[in-house]
Structure formats: C-alpha cells, structure tokens
Amino acid sequence: MPSLVPHFRSKEPVSPLPDVRSLQELLLPVDTLLRSDVSLALVRYPGCEPYVCMQRDGRDTLCQRLSGLFGTGFVLCPFAEGEGHPVVLVRADVTACGWEDIGRLLQKMVRELHLSHATLPQSMSVPTFADLKARLFESRPDSGYEGALSVFLHDLQEGRFDKLVLSRAQNFPGAHSAARIFARACHAYPNALVTLSHTRSGTWIGASPEILLQGEKDQWTTMALAGTRPRGSATPWDEKNRREQAWVARYIRDSLAPLCARIREEGPFTAEAGQVEHLRTDFFLEKAQGVSFRDLALALHPTPAVCGLPKKEAMERILSTESLDRRYYSGFIGLMQEDAASFYVNLRCLKLHAGGVRLYAGGGILAQSKLESEWKETCHKMCTMLALIGRDEA
C-alpha cells in the first residue's frame, strides 16, 4: 500500500465534491453495511481525496494501549485507554480513494454480502434543525453535571488545578442516515477531518479541525490552537486569549522536549476557521532516536482543550467525578501505518445507534464559572453536529 502521508499533504487538485443529495445517494450503501459485520472507516481530510478502508470479517483490531497497536488503517483512540474502551484499528484490507471509486466499492461490498439496500429515512420524519435546537436549549442541567461542576469549582478555587474540562452528552431519538450526516458534514466543514467509522465499538461520525499529530518517519507536526473571536476582527488579540494560547504552546513544548531531537516553532499567528479565528503556533518536530510516533501522540493526549492541567491529576479527577462516560469523544482519530500517521482530536462528534444519536460537548471550567452559562456553552457546541441531523426548513 502506498504511503498515506503524501495523500494527506498532496497539493494535487482533488475531484469536485458532489452536491449533498448526490453525495448521500452515492454513499447510501454505507447505511446498508452498518447492518453487517463489516468494519469500515470513511475519511475526508481537508483538501484531500476521500478514502475508505474496510475489513470484511468485522474483526477490527482491539488493543488496550496505543503503544501496542501496529498495522495500517484507521485508528479510533478513546479519551482514556483501558478496559471497556480499547484502541481500535480498522485494517486497510479493502480500500478506495475518490468519491466515484468509493461509491463503486461500497456497492460491490453490498452485493458480495447479499444485503438488502437501505433507503434514506423520509425527510418529514426527521425534525428540523430549529426544532432540535429548541429542544436542546430547553434542556436543564442534570444532577450528574451539576454535581461534577460543584466538585470542579471547589478544586479550582482551592488552587489544585489550573484548568478542568467538564463534558456531557445528550440523546436525540429518531431514524438517521449515516450517509446523509457524513455528506452534509463534508459540505459544512471543508477545513475539518470528517470521519465515519463503524466497528465493534459503535458507529461514530465526526468533524474535527484540530491536528493532534501528523507526519512520517522522523518529521512530525502539531499545533497549539487556542483563543477564539469572530473572523476578521481588526483589533489586536487581548491578553486573556494570548495567555490561553501561550499556555497550550508551553504544554506542547514541555511534553515533547524529552522526546525530540529538535523542535522549531512558527507563530503565534491568526488562523481562520469558518466564521471564527484562533491564535495558532505550529510546531515542527524531529523525534529523537528510539522514539515512535505513538510516544509523541501519547505525550500530547489528552490535550488541555479536552482534559486540563496538570494533565495526570486532571485526568484522574475527570474519571472519578464526571458522570459521563466519554468513550471515544475527546480521544483522537485518523489514519496510520508503520512510519506515518495523521491524528486529529475527536472533538465535534456523535454516536449513531438504532434509536437515534448521542451528541457530546464539553467546556473548560474556571474558578468563577457559573452553572447556567457552562450548560449553555455545551448547547452551543452541540449545534455544530446537531445541524447535520436536522431536516432543512421547507
């Protein structure tokens, strides 16, 4: 199999993205394959041709630790490694690249498995985005979220942590097409890694803008992305945003210094992301002899954006206090092979199941945080994926 990393970094023109309706019809066999034992991962990196890898036998590789995972394919790493939520590898036994080739391969797999074709859910059976959004913002903080926030606030006010991240999930019942959600995500988020994976750990769809680690052989890159404001703001960045971004950059610097022979930085600079912009520093790494890219990824994960600082103690506090089982939300995802990988933080994502979808979101808690405002922030963040499942207005 050719190297995956040149595919990530290719500057060659990519095939045009079909319109949403055409794309979801082309990908409709995915909905059929989700009813089978086939393990698959469909990925669209920013500015690259889409790629699919599949296993006919459904026996995706499971490993308790990323450090023990080897092979070529799509990786799904949980927030917290360990029993119950293994690291998953969908091996690249069967692959295709490009929309038309992917469509043909999906149809071929459906025929070979003698599966009856799925159909798109009737559009009128799916609530509109406005209806779903109203339901979301009418929700109230549950006791688990409220109790965890109280513990986090006490710890922060006592100075035990610099930062803690509190997450929650919310279910939305209904019949949803994975093909439709993925197609809409590709159109809505051109600068994100858009993924659809179906393994023994469930069916997950995500759209993430944040690189955790990307590269090949000895050369790797990562980024410190923090601070948010409307795109095109004319004023200089304020001290709060600069301090937050410098904090993340220092975390990366300190985490990777023992593992790298050389680290070069560019930034901070303003980077656009949809309707907002962030402060960003790019890091270019030469890993030290005897260090693997798995070592680099595990040194960075979980990032301050999804966990807190100090990292080890924040992770322990989250696992002992947070009422949510994050599973693969706030873990990382992407393609890997022997000496190359491209991993993104699994931030904006949902889990698809027979009865509907489960959306995830979280937020950084400060000593002065308030319950209502923190809950509302998670609602706003869930709207990113909620917009993909809602029916368009008539």
CATH number at residue 253: 3.30.70
Residue 45 scores a pLDDT above 90: yes
Are residues 218 and 183 part of one domain? no
Are residues 224 and 98 part of one domain? no
| Residue in 361, 352, 306 with CA at minimum distance from that of residue 204 | 352
User: Does residue 189 contact residue 205 with C-beta atoms inside 8 Å?
Assistant: no
Find residue 165's DSSP bridge partners.
Answer: 364
Q: What is the pLDDT of residues 140-166, one digit of tens each?
A: 999 999 999 999 999 999 999 988 999
In this prediction, residue 170 carries a pLDDT of: 96
Q: Which pair of structure tokens corresponds to residue 328?
A: 């693969």
Q: What is the pLDDT of residues 49-78, one digit of tens each?
A: 999 999 877 678 888 888 888 889 999 999
- Considering 278, 304, 330, which residue would you say is the last residue of a domain? 304
Residue 365 scores a pLDDT above 80: yes
Are residues 196 and 80 part of one domain? yes
- Considering 243, 278, 304, which residue would you say is the last residue of a domain? 304
Beta strand pairing call for 260-273 and 276-287: antiparallel
Are residues 203 and 68 part of one domain? yes
Residue 8 scores a pLDDT above 60: no
Are residues 114 and 227 part of one domain? no
- Considering 280, 304, 328, which residue would you say is the last residue of a domain? 304
Higher pLDDT, 99 or 210: 99
Q: Tell me whether residue 94 is in a domain.
A: yes
Residue 325 scores a pLDDT above 50: yes
In this prediction, residue 163 carries a pLDDT of: 87
Are residues 219 and 204 part of one domain? no
Name the residue range of residue 104's domain.
5-125+175-208
Task: Using a pLDDT cut of 70, give the percent of the chain over it.
Answer: 93
Are residues 291 and 260 part of one domain? yes
User: Does residue 253 contact residue 260 with C-beta atoms inside 8 Å?
Assistant: no
Q: Tell me whether residue 79 is in a domain.
A: yes
Find residue 280's DSSP bridge partners.
Answer: 225, 269
Q: Tell me whether residue 361 is in a domain.
A: no
Q: What's the whole-number average pLDDT of the chain?
A: 90
Are residues 224 and 116 part of one domain? no
CA 117, CA 200: separation in Å to the nearest integer? 22
Query: What average pLDDT does the segment 196-223 reach?
Result: 94
CA 126, CA 25: separation in Å to the nearest integer? 17
Are residues 13 and 101 part of one domain? yes
Q: Tell me whether residue 311 is in a domain.
A: no
Least confident of 14-18, 200-204, 237-241: 237-241
In this prediction, residue 2 carries a pLDDT of: 47
Q: Tell me whether residue 261 is in a domain.
A: yes
Are residues 182 and 44 part of one domain? yes
In this prediction, residue 1 carries a pLDDT of: 44
Are residues 259 and 280 part of one domain? yes
Are residues 192 and 282 part of one domain? no
The CA distances from residue 61 to 17, 68, 77, 391, in Å, are 31, 11, 12, 36
- The 8-class DSSP code of residue 16 comes to P
| Residue in 286, 284, 287 with CA at minimum distance from that of residue 264 | 284
Higher pLDDT, 13 or 113: 113
In degrees to the nearest 10, what's the CA dihedral of 232, 238, 240, 242?
70
CA 118, CA 358: separation in Å to the nearest integer? 22
Q: Tell me whether residue 281 is in a domain.
A: yes
Q: Tell me whether residue 287 is in a domain.
A: yes
User: Does residue 89 contact residue 73 with C-beta atoms inside 8 Å?
Assistant: yes
Distance of CA 38 to the CA centre of its chain: 22
The CA distances from residue 369 to 49, 132, 136, 156, in Å, are 42, 26, 21, 10
Domain count, the chain: 2
Q: Tell whether omega for the bond before 173 is within 30 degrees of 0, i.e. cis.
A: no
CA 160, CA 285: separation in Å to the nearest integer? 32
Q: Tell me whether residue 337 is in a domain.
A: no
Residue 83 scores a pLDDT above 80: no
